[in-house]
Homo-oligomer: A and B are copies of this chain.
Amino acid sequence: MTVANQRFLQACRREPVDATPVWLMRQAGRYMSVYRALRARHSILELIKSPEHATEVTLQPLDAFDLDAGIIFADILTLPEAMGLELEFISGQGPVFHNPLRTAVDVDRLQPVEPREALAFTLDAIRLVVRQLAGRIPLIGFSGAPFTLAAYAIEGGSSRSFITAKTFMHQETRAWHQLMEKLTAGVTDYCLAQIEAGAAAVQLFDSWVGMLTPTDFRAGVLPYMQQTIQRVQAAHPDVPVIYFGTDTAGLLPSFRETGATVIGVDWRIDLAQAWDLIGRDRAIQGNLDPVYLFAEPAVWQSAARQVLDAAAGQPGHIFNLGHGVLPRTPPEHVAGLIDFVHRTSCRPS
């Protein structure tokens, strides 16, 4: 389906736009009272696994704000769950896997996944959202990237230093590559299924990849990112693939080599410097520090203007935060930011 608002897709292709497109990671979530009201009655997994609820949550920020893209409400951990890991969201602690992968035998246990069956709830939600949007703006699908899923699967949850996951990667080299191959197959298929369901772009979230040395990234992650992105692009050459991680300033030269259409960067590097490292022949997404939205408008306007200035004079910038919207962010600041970006970047057409 052709969408009316083409800004996001144009920027992904580095075509001229009438104003810089903006969407925000976690644009659906706890900072919105309509979301909190729904969460008071349902667990996160209940919301994700009900296509109707996931559709409602996805549309909440799109009804409230002048966003240039939606992103399906889902979670990166439903894919490894579908591969046999027992997932639970524990209040105050976040997601945990009760049967983490600790040995090569555990990796063998991991089942191949048919996302069209096991993750049909998210694919159905994508179809519902696309129908309801009726071509107003594009919808982004997403998956966890293989590395972050592997780190979760081995560690069993979040961690300060990820000693278990990294040591597995450093020492159990063969099992590590087997695990990454299995996850790459699952991630690729999941992305393809989301595009078939109507996603106009896909973002690969590699939230934890910034814990790695550049050498470890190149040896243990890069080939799998290349495979994932190549396979998606081969099947759908017109669908942008966004690759995002945090703490990645030292990895950006290697990020380029993934082949991603768009690289998402956090706030820990100047956007202009990041773009130089990624290469100006790629689109870039970012990178306002989400904490700015807790200050008064004059403060985040000035910071947002700096981001826009760093990207000025060249097509291919998608405005976003450097990470997700934080839970207690004032919603009126989110609304104001989106309007500010459009107004400030507006170009005579």
Contact = CB atoms under 8 A, between A and B. Distances in A.
Interface of A: 161-163, 166-167, 170-171, 210-216, 247, 249-251, 253, 267-270, 273-274, 289-292, 294-296, 299, 303, 306, 326, 328
B163 A294 contact: yes
A171 B270 contact: no
Contacts of A291: 161-163, 166-167, 170
22 contacts: A161-B291, A161-B326, A163-B291, A163-B294, A170-B292, A170-B295, A171-B295, A171-B296, A210-B247, A211-B268, A213-B267, A213-B268, A215-B270, A215-B306, A247-B247, A249-B250, A249-B268, A250-B269, A250-B270, A250-B274, A251-B268, A253-B273
A326 B163 contact: yes
Given A162-B291, A167-B295, A215-B270, 15 more contacts: A163-B291, A167-B294, A170-B295, A170-B303, A171-B295, A210-B247, A210-B268, A211-B268, A212-B268, A213-B289, A214-B268, A215-B306, A249-B249, A249-B250, A250-B273
Number of copies: 2
A171 B249 contact: no
A345 to B, nearest CB: 18
Nearest to A211: B268
A189 B176 CA distance: 50
B249 A269 contact: yes
A210 B211 CA distance: 13
A273 to B, nearest CB: 7
Contacts of A215: 270, 303, 306
Contacts of A250: 249, 268-270, 273-274
Given A249-B249, A295-B170, A299-B171, A214 B269 contact: yes
A45 B299 CA distance: 39
A267 B212 CA distance: 8
A91 to B, nearest CB: 16
A210 B249 CA distance: 11
A170 to B, nearest CB: 4
Nearest to A217: B268
Contacts of A249: 249-250, 268-269
A114 B161 CA distance: 37
Contacts of A163: 291, 294, 326, 328
A293 B170 CA distance: 10
A278 to B, nearest CB: 13
Interface centre among A171, A250, A292, A296 (most CB of B within 10 A): A250
A292 to B, nearest CB: 6
A167 B295 CA distance: 6
B214 A270 contact: yes
